């Protein structure tokens, strides 16, 4: 396991307590893994949001063009995506 990196501390005064080390986790540590997982979830949420907004745009197009067959298909996809995301 890699040792944490410590930033150099400020000069101490004669009465000041011992310096604290502000540690940065290594790239393979558990803390870094949580940061990587959070980043992956953020990317997944962004891609899902883009996909849902694309579906809503298609639905609006088919409503304006009054093409209800395509609208029903797009709404079925929207319900499928919403239901899959809401299952717990």
Question: pLDDT for 4-39, tens place per residue?
Answer: 555 555 555 556 555 566 677 788 888 899 999 999
Name the least confident of 46-55, 63-72, 77-86: 77-86
Residue 78 sits in which domain range?
50-88
Q: Is residue 58 part of a domain?
A: yes
Q: Is residue 73 part of a domain?
A: yes
Q: Is residue 38 part of a domain?
A: no
Q: How many domains does the chain have?
A: 1
Average pLDDT over all residues of the chain: 80
Q: Is residue 88 part of a domain?
A: yes
Q: Is residue 62 part of a domain?
A: yes
- Dist. CA 81–CA 53, nearest whole Å: 12
- Dist. CA 55–CA 61, nearest whole Å: 10
Q: Is residue 72 part of a domain?
A: yes
Q: Is residue 42 part of a domain?
A: no
pLDDT band at 87 (very low <50, low <70, confident <90, very high): low
pTM value is: 0.59
- Dist. CA 57–CA 75, nearest whole Å: 11
């Amino acid at each position: 396991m890699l040792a944490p990196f410590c930033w150099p501390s400020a000069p101490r005064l004669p009465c000041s307590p011992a310096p604290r080390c502000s540690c940065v986790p290594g790239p393979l540590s558990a803390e870094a893994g949580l940061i990587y997982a959070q980043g992956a979830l953020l990317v997944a949420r962004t891609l899902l949001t883009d996909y849902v907004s694309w579906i809503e745009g298609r639905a609006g197009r088919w409503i304006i063009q009054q093409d209800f067959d395509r609208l029903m298909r797009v709404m079925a996809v929207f319900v499928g995506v919403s239901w899959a995301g809401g299952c717990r």
